[in-house]
Amino acid sequence: MKHSKRYQNAWNQVESRKVYSLEEGVNKVKETSTATFDESVELSVRLGVDPRKSDQMVRGTVVLPHGTGKTVKVLVLTKGSKENEAKEAGADYVGGDDMIKKIQEESWIDYDVVIATPDIMGQVGRLGKVLGPRGLMPNAKSGTVTMDIEDAVKDVKAGKISFRVDRYGIVHVAVGKGSFSVENLKENVNAFMDTINKLRPVSAKGIYVRSIFLSSTMGPSIRIDKNQLIDVPV
């Protein structure tokens, strides 16, 4: 695959075999984030787990201190008084049967997060074919099936993200934008790694965090010194 001149110039600024400190890595990501749009800063963490085993499936949520820099569209599926609660909390779309019908008939997915109350999950379960493959299905473990709609919506809008290890044992998340300050990006990375450290499965043996890479949307991957980010203090 042939890369653009811009990408090649960015790659030439990175020492391929060097392991960067977090601060060096964040600075390097910002230097190589030269696209005409505000690129996302992405973190990839390879874990020493076997995702095929249910007791080694690493998944969870974290509220990044400075958010992701992305405007998140939230759909709340609920009924009764909870509809007003969702609207007042800032949800972009709110409804029950009407929204469920729209998703079923139109495969409508113009939102980033779906939150639902437990009393409507019997109907939401029918949306699995549309929401499931896109990782949008509400789930109690991620806090998106709840009666506390106000806090759930506000957390998502404030920068709460859900994540799960993929079949290769890697967790990919966006931790900000190229326009973020170095300190804000570092704090977001630290918050995420603190959560990852706490989620180490008891059954996972050997090295848990294998490697950590940072990159911008269009930039090269930069290897980060994982020893700085293991057991990060709160």
Torsion of CA 63, 112, 145, 41, to 10 degrees: -20
Strand stretches in 65-191, DSSP E: 74-77, 93-95, 113-116, 160-164, 170-177
**Is 93 within a domain?**
yes
What pLDDT, on the 0 to 100 scale, is given for residue 48?
95
State the average pLDDT for the chain: 90
Classify residue 7: in a domain, yes or no: no
Measured CA distances, 13 to 171, 186, 197, 214, 218 (Å): 26, 20, 31, 14, 14
Reported as type and span, the H/E element at residue 37 is none
Structural domain count of the chain: 2
Indicate the residue type of 203: S
Mean pLDDT of 42-54: 95
Q: Band of the pLDDT at 154, cuts 50, 70, 90?
A: very high
Query: At which of 157, 175, 203 does a domain end?
Result: 157
62 with 170, same domain: the answer is yes
- Per the structure, the complete domain to which residue 38 belongs is given by 17-68+160-228
Minimum mean pLDDT range among 12-16, 125-129, 137-141: 12-16
Pairwise CA distance, residues 115 & 220, whole Å = 35
Sign of CA dihedral 162, 158, 188, 27: positive
Name the one residue in this structure whose structure tokens are 């949307």. 217
Q: Assign 9 a pLDDT band (cuts: 50, 70, 90).
A: low
Residue 38 in domain: yes
Q: How confident is the model at residue 233 (pLDDT cuts 50, 70, 90)?
A: very low
Same domain? For 153 and 164 the reply is: no
Whether residues 118 and 165 fall in one domain:
no
Same domain flag for 164 and 215: yes
- Do 149 and 170 belong together in one domain? no
Whether residue 139 is found in the same domain as residue 205: no
Q: 36 with 88, same domain?
A: no
Inside any domain, residue 82: yes
Tell me: the pLDDT tens digits for 50-69?
A: 999 999 999 998 999 999 99
Looking at 157, 173, 203, which one is the last position of a domain? 157
> For the chain, what percent of residues have pLDDT higher than 90?
75
Residues 108 and 60 in one domain: no
Confidence check: pLDDT of 2 > 70: no
Q: pLDDT tens digits, residue range 81-118?
A: 999 999 999 999 999 999 999 999 999 999 999 999 99
Q: Computed from CA positions of residues 159, 160, 166, 169, in that sequence, does the dihedral angle turn out positive or negative?
A: positive
Task: Please check whether residues 90 and 38 belong to one and the same domain.
Answer: no
pLDDT of residue 234: 35
Q: What is the pLDDT, as a whole number, of residue 114?
A: 96
Q: Which among 99, 131, 157 is the end of a domain?
A: 157
CATH code at position 37 = 3.30.190.20
pTM confidence score:
0.79
